[in-house]
Amino acid sequence: MDRSNMELFPHVLDHKSEAIARVEGEAGLAKAEDHSGSEWVDYAYEFLCGYCRRHREVFPPDLWEAGLEVPSSPRAMGAVMQRGIREGIIRPIIWRGMICCKTNPYRHNATTPVYESIEYKDGRPF
C-alpha cells in the first residue's frame, strides 16, 4: 500500500464521553443524509460495496472518480462510509495506533480517512 501521501492522526476523543460523541455523530450523519436523501445514500452504499470487491483501499474521492454520482451535500458521504463500517464492509486503516488520512481535493484539501476494504483479499475479490 502506498503511504507516501498519507498523514497520521491520533485516534482519540476529546473531553466528551464516547457516548455523547456517538449520539452527536449519529445526529450529524442523519442531518447529512436528510440533505442528500436516503435514496442517494442507499445508492452510494451499493456503489461502495461493489467498489470494495474490486479495490483493496477505499478513499472517498476515488469513489467520485470511479463514477459515483455526486450528492447535493458532500457531507452525505460520511453517512455512507459510517454505514460501511457498521456493516463490516470497510475499516479505517490504522498504522502505529493512528488513522491514516490523505488530503481530499473535493473538501478544500481537508484530511480524510483512508479505509481498507474487508471484502477484498489477496489480490482478488471474494
CATH number at residue 59: 1.10.10
Asked, for residue 42, whether it belongs to a domain, the answer is: yes
pLDDT higher than 90, residue 92: yes
pLDDT higher than 60, residue 89: yes
pLDDT higher than 60, residue 102: yes
Asked, for residue 2, whether it belongs to a domain, the answer is: no
Asked, for residue 1, whether it belongs to a domain, the answer is: no
pLDDT higher than 80, residue 122: no
Question: Smallest Cα–Cα separation from 60: which of 121, 103, 11?
Answer: 103
How many separate domains does the chain show?
1
Where are the alpha helices (H) located in 1-126, listed in sequence order? 18-36, 38-54, 60-65, 76-86
Asked, for residue 11, whether it belongs to a domain, the answer is: yes
Asked, for residue 110, whether it belongs to a domain, the answer is: yes
- List the domain range (segments joined by +) for residue 53: 7-125
> What is the mean predicted confidence (pLDDT) over 70-80?
82
Asked, for residue 36, whether it belongs to a domain, the answer is: yes
pLDDT of residue 16: 56
Asked, for residue 65, whether it belongs to a domain, the answer is: yes
pLDDT in tens, 32-56: 555 557 889 999 999 999 999 999 9
List CB contacts of 45: < 8 A, sequence separation 6 or more: 80, 83, 84
Average pLDDT over the chain reads: 80
List CB contacts of 28: < 8 A, sequence separation 6 or more: 78
pLDDT of residue 33: 56
With bands split at pLDDT 50, 70 and 90, how would you rate the model's confidence at 13?
A: very low
Asked, for residue 62, whether it belongs to a domain, the answer is: yes
Q: pTM of the prediction?
A: 0.71
Q: Name which residue leads in pLDDT, 27 or 117.
A: 117
pLDDT higher than 80, residue 1: no
